[in-house]
Amino acid sequence: MKHLQMKKKSMIMILLSIGLAITLTTSFLLLQNNVFTETENMKYLSTNNARITIGMSGGAENLLIVIADTYGFFSQEGLDVSLKEYPSGKRSLNEGLFAGEVDFATPADVPIVFSSFERNDFSVVTNIGHSYDVSKIVARSDKGISNPSDLEGKKIATQKESSVHFFLNLFLLKHNIPEKNIQISYKQPEELPSALADGQIDAFSMREPFVGQARDLLGDKIIIFEEPGLYQKTYSLVAFNKFIEENPQIIKKVLRALVKAEDFVKEHPEESIKVISEITNTLESEVAANWSNYDFAVSIDQAFLFSLDEHAAWAINEKFVNASAMPNYLDYIHTASLKEVKPGALKIFG
């Protein structure tokens, strides 16, 4: 009798083990086949809890992204977002997105144009903001520079094929300084303040936080030239076409979170100014004084297309690219998701 009871218990344990194995195997197969999708960056995404990475610079241009992350708008949409910082938007594109480190990048318009001459596997999902006075010319006053005309014959550096490079071009044109009459060199953004302080260069074209870093190093030995309205700089959210095609729900979730961030910025400007102050290491009073020079909105309009054409013409004319024809930038804009999430924000034709 005892032997039969032990045999019965053994059979029950075997059946329970088989049942558990079948359950685990079924769960694993469902998990593999129904929930996860492999992405360009070899991650796994779920439309209910998507894990994505956004590459961005530490500038004010990424306010909507920082707000969406800080105040939980991404998580409200079921997104698990990691932010990866790069010294510039251009490098978030080249070293981030194109290198497979991030799912999204946030370059300005000029790097998008230069990349368009080399590849066509990426698209703008939306613009996330505009600035009208973010680029500056920072020069050493102890080198005899007190007016823009004094830059002639001087050594000026900037980041090549970037928005600050384009701004330098516009600045020189406005002040009738032929580019051949300056000694231009190209450096990474983080190298510029020390290069100016060490006397390697006499001036540079750049934005915050590097302008502030130069001021900290040189004090009253620097002069800063500003040209509000000379250049409307547009910042965009960019992703690979394959990622966009394979993850339409994730794209829309990101856009919805950014729309919430846009509403927050409109309703809470003082809090938004504090956020910019923190991410750029700039005084709140300085950010507040320049607040009207920013426009943070989830949108794409015709002016953006015109600016891409303008930058492309500059790149071709200056022979920065080996091309004679401009790309069709309508082919570099993904409109479907923005049209669904925020229809009035899409104002382009062509």
Percent of the chain at pLDDT exceeding 90? 74
Q: pLDDT digit string (tens) for 211-264?
A: 989 999 999 999 999 998 888 899 999 999 999 999 999 999 999 999 999 999
Same domain, 123 and 154: no
Q: Let me know if residue 9 belongs to a domain.
A: yes
Most confidently modeled range among 2-6, 47-51, 63-67, 205-209 = 63-67
- What H or E segment, with its residue span, contains residue 74? helix 73-76
Asked whether the predicted pLDDT for residue 152 surpasses 70, the reply is yes
How do strand 203-206 and strand 136-140 relate by DSSP bridges?
Answer: antiparallel
Give yes or no: residues 94 and 141 share one domain. no
Tell me which of 225, 246, 267 is where a domain ends: 225
Classify the phi-psi angles of 64: left when phi > 0, otherwise alpha if psi is within -120 to 50, otherwise beta: alpha
Residues 170 and 237 in one domain: no
Residue 42 lies in a domain: no
Q: Which two tokens stand for residue 59?
A: 């500038």
Going by C-alpha positions, the residue among 100, 122, 166 that lies closest to residue 311 is 166
Report yes or no on 45 lying in a domain: no
Q: Same domain for 81 and 116?
A: yes
Using the predicted structure, report yes or no on whether residue 205 has a pLDDT greater than 90: yes
Q: Cα–Cα distance between 46 and 80 in angstroms, integer?
A: 10
Do 124 and 173 lie in one domain? The reply is: no
Distances (CA, A) of 334 to 18, 79, 95, 122: 50, 20, 22, 9
Same domain assignment for residues 120 and 243: yes
Domain termination site, one of 195, 225, 255: 225
**263 shares its domain with 295:** yes
- Whole-prediction pTM: 0.80
- Is 40 contained in some domain? no
Indicate the number of domains in the chain: 3
Helical (H) or strand (E) element with 165: helix 163-174
Classify residue 125: in a domain, yes or no.
yes
Residue 152 domain flag = yes
Q: What distance lies between CA 237 and its chain's CA centroid?
A: 6
**Structural domain range at position 16:** 2-35
